[in-house]
């Protein structure tokens, strides 16, 4: 598909592809894609400058009922033909504006990401922040869950789950993936190669370049499909398209995809290692002659990310379930240190290539449950704060953390142990996010309040199934 840049390009594509419906999408505050569909009779060039109205009070974390009217503003360059709809449909991602003032809405996550890019350019430090997230996910065959006054449970099933090695399947062909052995045997043990290929092709068909796809470590269909890095806002847009394509491709095959960080007990969770580099004038500013081939700027960026990591996690690992993955003593990256190889460190410097163009930082704590507009913006702001204030990241952690004597291990700072702890860290440490009006105080306060009330406190109120195993016979 030819590059779409202007409203005229969109209207020509609608005519060329015989599109019948235009689907306009935007991100709510916590991080779920929303949409509204319009017949093409309602779409003309004026829509791109005047927008279309909707009720902002019905969107989580947004307007009050007395100021509910909002405008949805389509972005031409985000257009793609939806591969799943029965009626030919063109999709566009949108920005949100206030209909009275015409200003971009401060709680629109995409607006925050756009402000982050503008702030970087205004500073003159760099002109582009490139991001490359590695979003892991699970492909299950069946999922059931419920929570009521008198019961609460979940039940997951997957044909390749090791727990089905003895199940009557008429016939059971074996080849179940043992715990932590999914990375990455060939078929038939890898039963999902063709499905992942379908997903990868569908992503490329809508303009997202794919570098690789493979099974991941865990049993029961854990997977990863890697997108080529892109600038901040574009990559956040692409991650939403990625989730949409994966979920709906799986649905075609009567399977279900989840980006929940830790759905299975006793095996790896799904992280989203985020690669970041800053560029100016086509030059990678993170490449240099220092540790692991990094520049001094990159070292300061690491310092900023590590300093602000507890607060960052409130945005990059933003669910109570995230902290079932980020547990000390396991493979998860809970050590607030950096290393060129140690995967238990929060920041890693990939060493696959010595080319200056590939030099980058890999922040390993985030997971794919995050709102990417907020997460990528926050990571960039932490890196920039480190550069501005020349924050020293200290010495690298190139030792095996599990072999460190207790007196050394205790000196290595750890990530927060819960979402509550991360939100409290964000409450204390967010001045770096307010620079350039990228995040506003209202956004920070609303995020903390929403997460505390709707997730942390809601979880606190409910008995956990394992508590019955521990305490019922007391």
pLDDT in tens, 308-337: 999 999 999 999 999 999 998 777 899 999
How much is the average pLDDT of 339-352? 87
CA–CA separation, 197 and 62 (whole Å) = 38
Choosing from 82, 117, 136, 141, which is the catalytic residue?
Answer: 136
How much is the average pLDDT of 140-147? 97
Per residue in 268-285, pLDDT (tens digit) is: 999 999 999 999 999 999
The Cβ of residue 24 has, within 10 Å, a number of other Cβ atoms equal to: 23
Q: How confident is the model at residue 410 (pLDDT cuts 50, 70, 90)?
A: confident
Residue 456 has pLDDT above 80, yes or no: yes
Residue 1 has pLDDT above 70, yes or no: no
Residue 63 has pLDDT above 70, yes or no: no
- What is the structure's pLDDT at 64? 64
More confident residue, 385 or 3: 385
Choosing from 82, 108, 117, 134, which is the catalytic residue?
Answer: 134
Choosing from 107, 273, 360, 430, which is the catalytic residue?
Answer: 273
- What is the structure's pLDDT at 59? 86
Choosing from 12, 44, 55, 437, which is the catalytic residue?
Answer: 55
More confident residue, 214 or 54: 214
Choosing from 82, 108, 362, 385, which is the catalytic residue?
Answer: 362
CA–CA separation, 344 and 405 (whole Å) = 16
Q: Helix, strand or coil for residue 333?
A: coil
Residue 47 has pLDDT above 80, yes or no: yes
Active site residue 360: no
Choosing from 224, 237, 267, 385, which is the catalytic residue?
Answer: 224
b/e code 129-157 from CB counts within 10 Å (16+ = b):
bbbbbbbbbbbbbeeeeeeeeeeeeeebe
CA–CA separation, 337 and 361 (whole Å) = 12
Query: 271 CB contacts (<8 Å, ≥6 apart)?
Result: 134, 136, 261, 325, 332, 333, 364, 365, 366, 367, 368
Residue 242: alpha-carbon gap to chain centroid: 10
Active site residue 362: yes
Per residue in 346-391, pLDDT (tens digit) is: 999 998 777 888 999 999 999 999 999 999 999 999 999 999 999 9
Q: How confident is the model at residue 409 (pLDDT cuts 50, 70, 90)?
A: confident
- What is the structure's pLDDT at 66? 52
Choosing from 107, 348, 364, 420, which is the catalytic residue?
Answer: 364
- What is the structure's pLDDT at 3? 81
Strands, E assignment, 121-197: 128-140, 142-147, 152-157
- What is the structure's pLDDT at 133? 98
Active site residue 55: yes
Pair 371, 26: CB distance under 8 Å: no
CA–CA separation, 423 and 209 (whole Å) = 35
CA–CA separation, 334 and 446 (whole Å) = 27
Active site residue 215: no
Per residue in 108-135, pLDDT (tens digit) is: 999 999 999 999 999 999 999 999 999 9
Active site residue 209: no
Q: What is the CA radius of gyration of the chain?
A: 23
Choosing from 108, 117, 216, 367, which is the catalytic residue?
Answer: 216
How much is the average pLDDT of 392-407? 83
Residue 408 has pLDDT above 90, yes or no: no
Active site residue 224: yes
Active site residue 343: yes
Choosing from 60, 167, 343, 462, which is the catalytic residue?
Answer: 343
More confident residue, 411 or 424: 424
């Amino acid at each position: 598909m030819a590059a779409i840049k202007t409203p005229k390009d969109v209207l020509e594509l609608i005519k060329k592809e015989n599109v019948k419906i235009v689907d306009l999408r935007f991100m709510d505050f916590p991080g779920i894609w929303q949409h509204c569909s319009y017949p093409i009779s309602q779409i003309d060039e004026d829509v791109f400058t005047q927008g279309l109205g909707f009720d902002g009070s019905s969107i989580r974390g947004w307007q009050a009922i007395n100021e509910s009217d909002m405008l949805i503003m389509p972005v031409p360059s985000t257009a793609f033909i939806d591969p799943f709809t029965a009626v030919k449909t063109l999709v566009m991602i949108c920005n949100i504006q206030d209909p009275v003032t015409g200003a971009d809405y401060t709680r629109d996550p995409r607006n925050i990401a756009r402000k982050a890019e503008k702030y970087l350019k205004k500073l003159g430090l760099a002109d582009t922040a490139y991001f490359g997230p590695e979003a892991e996910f699970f492909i299950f065959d069946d999922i059931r869950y419920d929570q009521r006054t008198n019961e609460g449970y979940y039940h997951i099933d997957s044909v390749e789950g090791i727990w089905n090695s003895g199940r009557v399947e008429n016939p059971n062909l074996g080849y179940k993936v043992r715990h932590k052995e999914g990375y990455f045997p060939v078929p038939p043990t890898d039963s999902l190669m063709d499905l992942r290929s379908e997903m990868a092709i569908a992503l490329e068909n809508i303009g997202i370049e794919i570098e690789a796809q493979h099974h991941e470590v865990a049993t029961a269909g854990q997977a990863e499909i890697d997108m080529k890095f892109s600038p901040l806002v574009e990559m956040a847009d692409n991650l939403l398209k990625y989730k949409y394509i994966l979920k709906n491709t799986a649905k075609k095959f009567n399977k279900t995809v989840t980006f929940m960080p830790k759905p299975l007990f006793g095996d790896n969770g799904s992280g989203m290692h985020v690669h970041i580099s800053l560029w100016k004038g086509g030059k990678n500013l993170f490449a240099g002659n220092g540790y692991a081939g990094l520049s001094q700027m990159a070292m300061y960026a690491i310092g900023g990310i590590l300093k602000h990591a507890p607060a960052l996690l409130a945005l990059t690992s933003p669910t109570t379930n995230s902290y079932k993955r980020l547990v000390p003593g396991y493979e998860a990256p809970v050590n607030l240190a950096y290393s060129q190889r140690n995967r238990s460190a929060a920041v890693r410097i990939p060493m696959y290539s010595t080319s200056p163009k590939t030099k980058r930082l890999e922040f390993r704590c985030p997971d794919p449950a995050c709102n990417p507009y907020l997460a990528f913006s926050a990571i960039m702001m932490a890196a920039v704060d480190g550069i501005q204030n020349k924050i020293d990241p200290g010495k690298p952690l190139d030792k095996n953390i599990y072999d460190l004597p207790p007196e050394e291990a205790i000196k290595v700072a750890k990530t927060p142990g819960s979402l509550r702890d991360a939100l409290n860290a964000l409450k204390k440490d967010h001045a770096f996010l307010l620079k350039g009006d990228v995040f506003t105080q209202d956004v920070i306060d609303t995020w903390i309040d929403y997460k505390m009330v709707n997730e942390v406190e809601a979880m606190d109120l409910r008995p956990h199934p394992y508590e019955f195993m521990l305490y019922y016979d007391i």
